[in-house]
Amino acid sequence: MEDLHYKLLKVLQDNPDLSQRQLAQELSISLGKTNYCLRALIEKGWVKANNFRRSTNKIAYAYLLTPHGIEERTRATVHFLRRKVAEHEALSNEIEQLRDEVKQNRINIGLPSEA
């Protein structure tokens, strides 16, 4: 859920006037899940829903990040980045081990050691 909150805050910061349906499409999640997450962010005080009317007279909302929401998005970005860097390092190590394994197996069966 933490990643989803991060992604939702990121999208809202750049596009506060997206509808919940558009947010759901942007994030590839259901409309119900989008509504649930938006409500959670509003309850936490990270997002404020401002009501306004469009020229078609339909009620719409602008989802604005509050100062606390901007702060939390920054924290979430740092956390997300740290986690992704750690995942990248772990994946790089695993790739290197697999290359070594392939190289060793090629040598053991008499093939050139190019991987």
pLDDT of 11 over the 50 cut: yes
Q: Region 27-31: what's the mean pLDDT?
A: 95
What's residue 57's pLDDT? 43
Residue 94 has pLDDT above 90, yes or no: yes
Asked: is 2-108 a CATH 1.10.10.10 domain? The reply is: yes
| In the chain, domain spans | 2-108
What integer pLDDT is reported at residue 39 of this predicted model?
A: 94
Residues 6 or more apart whose CB falls under 8 angstroms from that of 10 comprise 73, 77
CB atoms within 10 A of CB 75: 11
Region 93-112 average pLDDT: 86
pLDDT averaged over the chain? 87
Instruction: Enter the pTM of the model.
Output: 0.66
Measured CA to CA, the distance from residue 70 to residue 73 in angstroms comes to: 5
Mean pLDDT for the stretch of residues 57-81: 85
